[in-house]
Structure 1
Amino acid sequence: MLAIRGLRKSFGGRTVLDGFDLSVEPGEFVALLGPNGSGKSTVLRCVVGLETPDGGEVEVGGNAAMVFQKIHLVGRRNALDNVCSGALGRLPLHRSFFFPQDVREEAMVCLERVGLADRALDRCARLSGGQQQRVAIARALCQRANVILADEPVSALDPQAAVQVMELLKALAGDGMAVVAVLHQPELARTYADRVVEMKATVAA
């Protein structure tokens, strides 16, 4: 589902990734651990095109969607509208936030999948941090993603909310998706991930 070969990336002369390889199968949950500066987030950003690699190859078997540490939702809009925005890439530009019925129905299915169908009409600003992160995951599902990339998805959450999000990501992998999560909590990584990849910071020459 996801294949990364020989990925290289430098910033301002500092090498962050130097020949990184990773393969993730459908139904697999992989956690990336490592110190700050080891390139964990850069890997995910290169996969979705937020950064341009200096070299190497990235192949995605379908669509990849990213879930961020800082939850990018429109707080004044309700959860349903925020999830519908995952479909914007396949809608005419003039549709904006006026989503057709089929998209709204699909978004409701996504909200149900993350356990928040009953909060669909609540403004996101009124939701807890854990609920907002689950809305963000539902939005990724509405992008019809085959690969979910989560960049520190639980670092700002309380322990109970963090467990709920990790259990959700594990369940999505169980549904056949490929899931890659950058984490700073080794105990969560080893509890929920099928495989843990530990990255090291590149030592400058």
Structure 2
Amino acid sequence: MSLRIRGLRKAYGGRTVLDGFDLDVAPGEFVVLLGANGSGKSTALRCVVGLEQADGGTIETGSRAAMVFQQIHLVPRRTVIDNVSAGALGRLPLRRSLHPLLFPRELREEAMACLDRVGLAGRAADRAGRLSGGQQQRVAIARALCQRASVLLADEPVSALDPSAAEQVVALLADLARTGGLAVAAVLHQPGLAVRHADRVVGLRAGRVTLDERAAGLNPADLDFLYGEQGAAA
């Protein structure tokens, strides 16, 4: 199992956001987290990568986890390949990480392979700010791949994209799981995308898992329960 979460708890003040959250994601599996705003989906992913400190529970990953965000956070004036190469900065000596011109050749070759994997090798020399929103999110995914993570997390990665670009990005995440052997988990607010592309759907309500089904078996009653009046965390 590449990602294993057990009994995760998180509260802000007196408000419980995660209340004994469990999740398993296997290599080669694409899991989508669904639920109303405030149900704990994004908080769970942020705890995995250390952006939030859990109050209790355990998190195990196969090696490392990389995350893609709703806000893409590319450097618009830098080239696409510079942005992707930045995913490997943690592996470089400080001196070589200070400027893109000092990136070693093998790193740029690895970054180019990651860009090819997301279908953007032909845009490597372009400034990132010249790309469309969907293309920029694919660059962000390539940057995450350059971290050599075994777990890829995506927090609302398509919320700012048009339907066509959103479809392409979610299809890419599914393909990275199935052909790349990654464990991929994504927070989405589009159940239709989850049904079309995910292997499993995990539903959260008030910080707890209330649904864990094969995506093809999801039905309207499941969604009504997740997104009903009491779907958000108290």
What's the TM-score, normalizing by structure 1? 0.98
Task: Report whether the alignment pairs 1:121 with 2:125.
Answer: yes
Q: How many residues align?
A: 204
Question: Aligned equivalents of 2:5 and 2:206: distance in 1?
Answer: 18
**Paired residue for 1:139, among 126, 136, 143?**
143
Amino acid at match of 1:178: A
Question: Aligned equivalents of 1:92 and 1:190: distance in 2?
Answer: 43
- Residue 201 of structure 1: how far off its partner (Å): 2.5
Q: Is the 8 A contact 2:19 2:206 kept in 1?
A: no
- Residue 13 of structure 1: how far off its partner (Å): 1.7
Q: Is the 8 A contact 2:30 2:174 kept in 1?
A: yes
Equivalent residue, structure 2, for 1:192: 197
Equivalent residue, structure 1, for 2:228: none
Equivalent residue, structure 1, for 2:45: 44
Larger CA Rg, structure 1 vs 2 = 2
Equivalent residue, structure 2, for 1:61: 62
- Per the alignment, in what secondary structure is the counterpart of residue 205 of structure 2? coil
Q: Is the 8 A contact 1:36 1:201 kept in 2?
A: no
Matches within 5 A, 1:64-75: 64-75=65-76
Equivalent residue, structure 2, for 1:80: 81
Question: Aligned equivalents of 2:33 and 2:147: distance in 1?
Answer: 23
Task: Report whether the alignment pairs 1:154 with 2:158.
Answer: yes
- Per the alignment, in what secondary structure is the counterpart of residue 141 of structure 2? helix
Question: Aligned equivalents of 1:46 and 1:107: distance in 2?
Answer: 27
- Residue 46 of structure 1: how far off its partner (Å): 0.3
- Residue 63 of structure 1: how far off its partner (Å): 1.4
Runs of 4+ in 1 over 6 A off after TM superposition: none
Q: Is the 8 A contact 2:31 2:201 kept in 1?
A: yes
- Per the alignment, in what secondary structure is the counterpart of residue 136 of structure 1? helix
- Residue 94 of structure 1: how far off its partner (Å): 1.9
Q: Percent identity?
A: 72
**Paired residue for 1:112, among 116, 137, 142?**
116
- Per the alignment, in what secondary structure is the counterpart of residue 159 of structure 2? coil
Q: CA RMSD in A?
A: 0.9
Equivalent residue, structure 2, for 1:31: 32
- Per the alignment, in what secondary structure is the counterpart of residue 53 of structure 2? coil
Equivalent residue, structure 2, for 1:3: 4
Question: Aligned equivalents of 1:39 and 1:74: distance in 2?
Answer: 29
Question: Aligned equivalents of 2:13 and 2:37: distance in 1?
Answer: 17
Question: Aligned equivalents of 1:201 and 1:6: distance in 2?
Answer: 14
- Summarize deviations over 1:22-46 as a string: whole Å, max 9, x none: 0111000000000110010000000
- Per the alignment, in what secondary structure is the counterpart of residue 51 of structure 1? coil
Question: Aligned equivalents of 1:143 and 1:26: distance in 2?
Answer: 17
Which residues of structure 1 form unaligned runs of 5+?
Answer: none
Matches within 5 A, 1:170-185: 170-174=174-178, 175-185=180-190
